[in-house]
Structures are given as structure tokens and as C-alpha cells.
Structure 1
Amino acid sequence: MNKMLLVIAGLGIASSLPLAATAEQMGQSAQPGYPRVLRTDTSWSGFYAGLNLGGGFGNNSIVTTGQVTANVNNVNGGARTPLTSVDRSGIIGGGQIGYDHQFQHFVLGLETDLAGTGISGQRTVVTTALTGGASLNNTFSSNLKSLGTVRGRVGLAAGRVLFYGTGGLAYGSTESSANFFGPSPTNVLQFTANNSSMSTGYAVGGGAEYKMARHLSTKAEYLYYKLEDQTLNVAVIAGSGGGGTGYNTTFQSKGNVLRLGANYRF
């Protein structure tokens, strides 16, 4: 998955070059002796708006602790997994608006974007009960439903190409769940929790943007994001046979985004 996303990003940059050449060819006058080249104003100053599409991926740690003695003993003895992780991946797509100001070859800007995502992952860990030796299933699910950022951009312009670094605030809607089952073969659900919430954090990254025409640019971008951890009360289900009160399970929410985009520059 990671290699595929890197290839897509590379193809996106490469594909913009012949498109730009075609645009210039279309700008030539049809009258012999009077060539006219399409204006490609290389100034990066001004407002812009556009769309983006790509993929996200990352490994997120999950930590579980017991609430009372019975649950603490289960974690310490390995009947409930104290530490695991879940790989999340999926498509991300949305839009962005921003403003850049160029000082000679340097560009300073501010951009905000918002995207819907299908970045999700699920994992089931099988452990062994402290008594009887029966198998216990522990299922974790982690989803990122949306991701937005407000970031500064610092770049170096080389004609039609802008190389930039970026960083700032990130926010998103996350959903996490944990379900711990009793001994097989009955596999009764004994402890459960599910929670959705908005959380904030940060995002950093960089990219390259190419000006295909006076009002049109394309870009390839990488971002790393980290949102606040989310702790769930995985409570015992009355009558299920589960002991104690339950567990506290903490989910990380972080990952990588690779995406291609296009902007209309006013």
C-alpha cells in the first residue's frame, strides 16, 4: 500500500510536465509568422482554491490497563493484551483554499483544507484465559472519518515550480471501539466500548507545485498528522460472566497522507 501511494505521487508530478507542454502548444497562433505563447505568469502571489485526492496510512498503538484488581491481573497475566497496534489505510479527498505572497524567490502562505476519509483499520488479538487455557478474542477498531488542517507554507520558487514545507494545526473526527470476548467456544461479549469524537493536533509535511498555466497549478504533497489520543472505558457487560469493572484502552490517531491536487489561482 505504501509503495503504491509513492508511485501514484511520482506519476502525478511527472504527468504534469507533458500537460504543460501541450498547453503551450495550444497557445501558439494558427497564423504563420505570428506565434503566440500561452501566458504562464510565474508569480505565486494571490488567492487560490482547489481539490485534492490521495491515500492515508499508518500504524497506531493501542494500550490497555485494568481498572480493578481482577482486570489488572488479567492484563499482567496476558489474558487481555496490554499493548497492540492496528494498521490504518484508506482514501482521503477534499478541498483547500489559501493565499501565497512571493518575495523574490521566497513564498510565504497560509492554507486550510478539509477532507473526508476512509482511513480505517481493525485487528483481533487472541489471548489465553488465566484459568482453563481457553482462547479469548480481543477486537480493536480505529477509524478516521475526517481530517482538516490550518497550515503555514514556506516555499522556494523556481519559475513555474514551487517547493515548500508546511505545518500547523490539524483536527479530525475519530471513531474507536474495543470488544473483549469470553472463552471459546461460546465467545460471549463481556466488555465493550465505542466512541466518536473530534480531536485536535498538528500536521507537518511538504510538497511541490507546478504552474501549468496562468490560473492553473497542480501539486503533490506529503503530510504527517498526529491527533490527541482517545481513551475508552471498556466496561463489563452485566450478566456476561466478565469480572471486575472493565478496562481503559487508549488509541493513538496518527498517520501519513500522500495526495495529488489541483488549484485555480485567481
Structure 2
Amino acid sequence: MKKLLSAFAAFTALTAAASAADLPRRVAPPPVFTPVPVFTWTGFYAGFNAGYGFGTDDRRAGPVVAVGPATGLVAPGTSAVIAFGGRNSTDGFVGGGQIGYNYQFTPGSGIVVGIEADAQYVDFGRDRNRFVSTSPLAAQQVFNPNGLSGLDFFGTVRGRLGYAWDRTLVYATGGFAYGSGGGRDFGLPNRSTDDFQTGWTVGGGVEYALPTDSFLNFFKSNAVTLKVEGLYVNLDRGNGLNGAFAVNNAGAIITTTSPGVVVVNAGQTRRDTEFAVVRAGLNYKFGTY
């Protein structure tokens, strides 16, 4: 009897094991997919820049004016010839800041459009009124008869259109430009001390977004970008200072049409302030991706 019971128990155990083997196994859950973030240029940004600006007008002839005693600029019975240098030293340091917004149509690689505004300090026109004379002058101030060329600051409001290859953006840019020079060096006495100018600008550049692990990425984020940019700027100076020549010790304004003044050589008559800017910049884009 015991043998029979033992055989029955063994048979039952084998049957249970076989039935368990036939049951479907529990399927493990699939791994959670975490997409890799794709960089996009879309977003607001702000930053600063620095570079060098230089004049693009290659004409070098400066005006030459002869003056007599009737002007009050020379002693009675004498005369003088004043020659202005043709080069106005429209070159020097450029630096400032910018803000803007980009929109990228397709993250990763694709077309990027945007708008940017910047304001720049410039060190232009240091020698804009430099002249030589054949005799000492009795004058408080002497001006270039063709108008003055110099800037204290300028700025732009530009559109941007480019194409991005992941973190590299190549773009063209253009739009409105403005600028001004300040102080008595840029205006006549009892006149406005600023000569505000407006015009246009066009240029292009390349911008690169730093990887998170770059030692230059001090924010340790995907939001720091570096750019190199070139701009051509053309500002219309107008005719406000044309013909302005000097102010004598009596405070009278002498012009090229005053008695005793002879324009020997009108020199260059260009009215616009034209210059190019090459600069490097750093931006912080708000929003990591």
C-alpha cells in the first residue's frame, strides 16, 4: 500500500511540473526609451561682442582753403593756406552688446530666421579735423569744410537668415543702422552737439553652440554660443556741416562762402560715413534646447 501511495505521489508531482511547464511565461516589460535631446537655435539670446572697425572709402584728397585778413583768422596784411588731411581715421575699436531671437523650423538641421539689435561704442575719427597751415591762426576751432567723419557710437536692428547644421549656424544679416558723434568736435558752437545719422547695414557670420562638456562653456549647458561676424555700415551724414570752416576769436562762424575765403581744392565730397566691422561675440541662449 505504501508503495502504491508513493508511486501516486510521484506521478502527481510529475504531472504538476509538466502542467507548469506548459503555462505561458511572464514577459519582461520593454526598456524605457529616452530620446536624445536635439539641439535647436530657437529662443531668445543676449550677449556681448568686441572687434575692429575701419573706413571703406578709399579717396584720400582733402580740401584746401586759402584765408585772408577779412576772416579774422590771420593777422592784418597776411594770409594763410589751410590743407586738411584726406584720411579721417575712421577706424578703431568696436565693442558692445546684442539681444535677439531665433526660430529654427526643423530641430537638428534646417533653416533659421531671426532678428537682432545691437548697440556699439566706437573709437572712430580721431584725426577727422587734423590740418596744416602756412601761418598761425587766430581761431577758436577749425572744421573740415566737407563735413566731419567720426562716430562715438552706432547700432543696428537687423534680420537674420541662415542654415544650421546641428550646432553650427551660417547666416546672412541686414537692416537698419544708426550712429552719432558727440561733443564740439562734431558740431558747431550754438548748434546741436550731436550729428545723428541713419542708414543701412548688411553682412554675415557663423555661430557655434558649445557642447556641454566644453571647457569654454562656463554655464555647463547647451546655451552658450560663439560667433564671428562681419558688417558693412553706411550712414548718411547729410549736409548739415558742409561749408563749416572755423570760429574766430570774436565767436563768428567762418564758412567757405565768407569774405576772404577761397576754396583752392574742394577735396572729397563724400557725404556718407562708410565703414566695415569685424567682430567676435558670445551669446547666452535662454532655454537649454
Structure 2 length normalisation: TM-score? 0.57
SS in 2 for 1:148: strand
| Residue identity matched to 1:244 | P
Instruction: Give the aligned partner of residue 150 of structure 2.
Output: 143
In structure 1, the partner of 2:24 is none
Q: Distance in 2 between matches of 1:40 and 1:81?
A: 65
Question: What residue in structure 2 maps to residue 57 of structure 1?
Answer: 54
Match of 2:166 in 1: 159
* Pairing 1:261–2:281 present: yes
Query: How far apart, in 2, do the equivalents of 1:257 and 1:199 lie?
Result: 17
Specify the alignment match of 1:87 in structure 2: 89
Alignment partners' CA distance in 1, 2:91 and 2:251: 33
Q: Can you list the C-alpha shifts for 1:83-114, whole angstroms capped at 9, x where unaligned?
A: 93423221111111111111231111000011
Alignment of 1:74-223 (within 5 A): 79=81, 84-104=86-106, 105-122=110-127, 124-126=130-132, 140=144, 142-175=149-182, 177=185, 195-213=193-211, 214-223=222-231
**1:196 is paired with a residue of what secondary structure?**
coil
Please give the root-mean-square deviation of Cα atoms over the aligned residues, in Å.
4.1
Structure 1 residues 253 and 102: alpha-carbon distance in aligned structure 2, compared to 1, 3 A threshold:
same
Task: Answer whether contact 2:51 2:95 (CA < 8 A) is retained.
Answer: yes
1:47/1:265 contact within 8 Å kept: yes
SS in 2 for 1:119: coil
Report % sequence identity: 37
Between the aligned partners of 2:157 and 2:165, the Cα distance in structure 1 is 25
Shift of 1:251: 5.2
Cα displacement (A) at 1:255: 0.5
Q: Which amino acid aligns with 1:51?
A: F
Segments of 5+ residues of structure 2 without an aligned counterpart are 1-35, 72-79, 212-221
The residue type equivalent to 1:234 in the other structure is F
Structure whose residues are more often strand by fraction = 1
Instruction: Give the letter aligned to residue 126 of structure 2.
Output: G
Aligned position for 1:188: none
Find the aligned partners of 2:85 and 2:127 in 1 and give their Cα distance. Answer: 15
**Contact 2:143-2:246 within 8 A present in 1 as well:** no
Q: How many residues align?
A: 204
Partner of 1:225: 233
- 1:234 is aligned, of 220, 241, 245, to 245
Task: Write the distance in 1 (CA, Å) between the matches of 2:54 and 2:153.
Answer: 14
CA distance in 2, matches of 1:139, 1:234: 5
Residue 234 of structure 1, CA deviation:
2.4
Identify the range of structure 1 (41-50 vs 228-237) with the bigger mean alpha-carbon deviation: 228-237
Bigger CA radius of gyration = 2
Cα shift at 1:195: 5.0
Contact 2:47–2:282 under 8 Å retained in 1 = yes
Q: What's the TM-score, normalizing by structure 1?
A: 0.62
- Distance in 2 separating the partners of 1:90 and 1:98: 25
